[in-house]
Amino acid sequence: MIWAGLAIMVVSETATLLRIEPFWSWNTPIAWTGFILFADGIVYRARGDSWIRSAPREFAALALVSIPLWLVFEGFNLVIDNWNYTGLPENFLLRQFGYAWSFGTIWPAIFEGAELIAVLRLSRSYLPDRPDLRKPSDLPGPPGVPGPPAFVSIAIGTAMLVSPFVVSPADARYLAAPVWLGFIFLLDPINARLGAESLWVDARARRYQRIGNLALSGLLCGVLWEFWNYWAAAKWHYTVPIMERWKIFEMPLPGYFGFPPFALECFAMYVFVRRLVTRGGRAIAR
């Protein structure tokens, strides 16, 4: 799986640079599929446990739920108008398939990347998927967040996510940062109250490995997103009104600071959705 994933990435990017179809138009989903296989293979070899090999049903669910979760941000983009797409297939069904494939790789890439980072950092905080193998000190701890801090965090998150809708369209374009932070403040304390995995609980227990793994994965995935997007025929362009001329690939330089918190948002959003459906699940980014 490692070599297959690496080959997919190399072939797709090389063919994209040479403008060879279908890679030139489909580089983003193809390359991300390769990355997911590559990262999963390395994690499995290092740990004997990985998303695809050990939890295939949840991995499939993760890929499926990644689509509507990203559509939440596409909805926000209708207001903040920070990116747009060009070079998409003219055929409607083919275009929708491309959206679904691309959006379905986002959450898997972030989580696979976080576990890859954990392996590269030689993290010792990984929790096996079997609850009976977890040590008491590794468990999230008793559910619940002190009332006032939780309410304050939820209020801050709500205000952040509402802010683009209560200002003028011209001002809303400057409010990408609240969108990339709001779901952390809104959902993470709720996850803690529900007894699910939580960044708040991790920080309270002085366990920062997961936060670090996710943040570094966000940065890694952000660079790869922009790298694979830059030469592709079907791609996105940014219209962020901040340092527009200072770009690395298509992304203005300040935008890269948004990728680490986006990874934390991916965690908070997925944990929340999963907790609504089930009490179990694979430990994430540990």
- Would 167 be classed as within a structural domain? yes
- Would 216 be classed as within a structural domain? yes
The domain of 38 spans 2-277
| φ, ψ (nearest 5 deg) of residue 139 | -70, 155
pLDDT digits (tens, 9 = 90+) for 179-225: 999 999 999 999 999 989 999 999 988 999 999 999 999 999 999 99
User: What's the pTM?
Assistant: 0.89
In the chain, how many domains are there?
Answer: 1
Question: Which has the closest alpha carbon to 266: 80, 110, 136, 92?
Answer: 110
- Under DSSP, the state recorded for 205 is T
Element of type H or E holding 175: none
- Would 265 be classed as within a structural domain? yes
Question: What proportion of the chain, given as a percentage, has pLDDT over 90?
Answer: 77
pLDDT digits (tens, 9 = 90+) for 140-182: 444 556 678 889 999 999 999 999 999 999 999 999 999 999 9
- Would 283 be classed as within a structural domain? no
Question: What proportion of the chain, given as a percentage, has pLDDT over 70?
Answer: 92
- Would 232 be classed as within a structural domain? yes
What dihedral angle (degrees, nearest 10) is formed by the CA atoms of 122, 124, 127, 133?
Answer: 130
- Would 285 be classed as within a structural domain? no
Beta-carbon-side half-sphere exposure of residue 80 (alpha carbons within 13 Å): 24
pLDDT digits (tens, 9 = 90+) for 83-134: 999 999 999 999 999 999 999 999 999 999 999 999 998 754 444 443 433 4
- Would 141 be classed as within a structural domain? yes
- Would 286 be classed as within a structural domain? no
